[in-house]
Structure 1
Amino acid sequence: MGKFPEDDRYIPTVFDAWVADMEVNNQPVELALWDTAGQEEFDRLRFLCYPDASVVVICFSVDTPDSLDNVEDKWYAESSVQAAGAPVILVALKLDLRHDQRTINELARYSQHPVTMAEGQRMAERIGAVAYIECSSIQNLNVRQVFEFAARAAVVPKGKRRMGDSASSNCCVIL
C-alpha cells in the first residue's frame, strides 16, 4: 500500500473515476475525476467521457519524450474536438525522474533526454493551455496543485478563462 508497482503484475487503467471535494474562492466544488486509457482500443469508451468534461487535464511523462509529442498530435487534437471549449491544463508527470541518472542514461541510448520545463511550457503555449504544472507523485510535489488549478479553470465562465477569476459553478468534471 502506498507504493508504486515494480513488477509485471501491474495492470494499466482502462477507466477509473473518483470524486473529491475542494473549495474554490470559498465555495465548495465537487470534483469528478475520470482517468481514461490511452490505448486505441479504448477510444470509444474514452469518447463517452468528453461531453461532460468541464476541464481537460492532459498529462505527459518527463521520462518519456514521445509522450510530449502525443500531447499535441493525439490528446489535444482529440479533446479540442470532443470537449470543445473546455479549458486545458498540461501536466508533466514524474518530475522526480528529470535528474535521475538512470533515466538520463537510458534515454541517451536513444539520443533522447528527459523533457525540460521549457519544452513543456512551449507545448502548453502551443495548445493554449490555461496552466502548465510539473508534478511528482513519488515526492508529493504539486499533485494537489494540479487539482486546484483544474477546479479553478473549470468554474470560470467561458469568456473569462484566466486563473483567479470568480467561480460560477460548484461542480467540476476533470477528464
Structure 2
Amino acid sequence: MTETTENPPPQEIFKVVLVGDEKTGKSQLLSRVTQDQFDETYRSTIGCEFGTKTYEINNRFIKLQLWDTAGQQRFASISRAYYRGANAIILCYDITNADSFNSLEQKLKEAQEIEENVKSIIVMGCKNDLEDQRQVTIQSGQEYANSNNAQFFEVSALNSNSVHAAFNEIMNSLIS
C-alpha cells in the first residue's frame, strides 16, 4: 500500500468519522494523516473539519474522507449529524485524561444508534508521546476495544508515532 500525493479518480471512497472529547487530539490526528503536519497551537473544532487522504492499494486508488467532529458538548447535536454514512468510527481518547476514555461508551452508543452500518470501529489512544503523564493503561484501551469488537491503536500526532501504520491497518480493514 502506498500513499499518493496526486489526485487520481478513486475507485472507492470511505467515510471515517473521528469522535471523542475535546482536546483528545482528533484535529492533530487529521492534520498528521492528511498533511503530515502538526500544529503546536490549540484551536477548538466548531462543528466539523474535513480532510482526505488517497491510498494506492494493488493498483486501485482508495480515498479516505476523514471527518473530525467537535468534542465540546455544546456541538454534540451537530457532530452526530456527521455519523450518517460512515464506514468507520474512530473513538479517540487522550491517554493522559481518564475522563476522555470513560466517555467513549456514550460516544460509541450514539454513533451506533445513528449509523447501524459502520463496518469498522477503532479505539485510538492519542498522545502516546506523553507516557510520563499516562492515566489510561494500554491494557485498558485494548480491553475496551476487544469488548466492542474494535481495532485498537495508540498514536502520537506530535511525533507521528504509529499514525501511518494505524491508518494503513484501518484501510486494510475497510477494503477487506
Same fold (TM over 0.5): yes
Correspondence 1:12 to 2:33 = no
How many residues are treated as equivalent by the alignment?
A: 138
Change in 2 beyond 3 A, CA 1:122/1:3: same
> Which of 53, 71, 89 is the equivalent residue of 2:86?
53
> Which of 69, 72, 85 is the equivalent residue of 1:39?
72
TM-score by length of structure 2 reads 0.71
Q: Distance in 2 between matches of 1:54 and 1:84?
A: 10
Q: CA deviation at 1:75?
A: 1.3
CA contact (8 A) 1:60 1:91 kept: yes
Q: Distance in 1 between matches of 2:44 and 2:111?
A: 21
Which position in structure 2 is the counterpart of 1:145? 165
Correspondence 1:127 to 2:127 = no
| Uncovered stretches (5+) of structure 2, i.e. residues with no partner | 1-36
Which position in structure 1 is the counterpart of 2:101? 68
Q: Distance in 1 between matches of 2:104 and 2:175?
A: 24
CA contact (8 A) 1:60 1:92 kept: yes
Q: CA deviation at 1:2?
A: 4.4
Per-residue CA deviation, residues 71-110 of structure 1 (Å, 9 max, x unaligned), is 11x2111111112131101111000112x2xx3xxxxxxx
Q: Distance in 2 between matches of 1:2 and 1:85?
A: 32
TM-score by length of structure 1 reads 0.72
Query: What is the identity, as a one-letter code, of the residue corresponding to 2:53?
Result: A
Which position in structure 1 is the counterpart of 2:4? none
Q: Distance in 1 between matches of 2:103 and 2:59?
A: 36
Q: CA deviation at 1:22?
A: 0.9
Per-residue CA deviation, residues 113-156 of structure 1 (Å, 9 max, x unaligned), is 52111011011012221x10111112211111232222222223
CA contact (8 A) 2:45 2:71 kept: no
Runs of 4+, deviation exceeding 3 Å: none
Let me know the Cα RMSD of the aligned residues: 1.8
Query: What is the identity, as a one-letter code, of the residue corresponding to 1:13?
Result: T
Correspondence 1:81 to 2:113 = yes
Where 2:103 maps in the other structure, the secondary structure is: helix
- Percentage of identical aligned residues: 26
Identify which of structures 1 and 2 has the higher relative contact order when contacts are C-alpha pairs closer than 8 Å and 6+ apart: 1
Q: CA deviation at 1:3?
A: 4.0
Query: What is the identity, as a one-letter code, of the residue corresponding to 2:43?
Result: I
| Uncovered stretches (5+) of structure 1, i.e. residues with no partner | 104-112, 157-175
Q: CA deviation at 1:25?
A: 4.5
Per-residue CA deviation, residues 14-42 of structure 1 (Å, 9 max, x unaligned), is 21000110133542101110000122221
Write 1 or 2 for the structure with the bigger share of strand.
Answer: 2
**Which protein has the larger Cα radius of gyration, Structure 1 or Structure 2?**
1
Which position in structure 2 is the counterpart of 1:155? 175
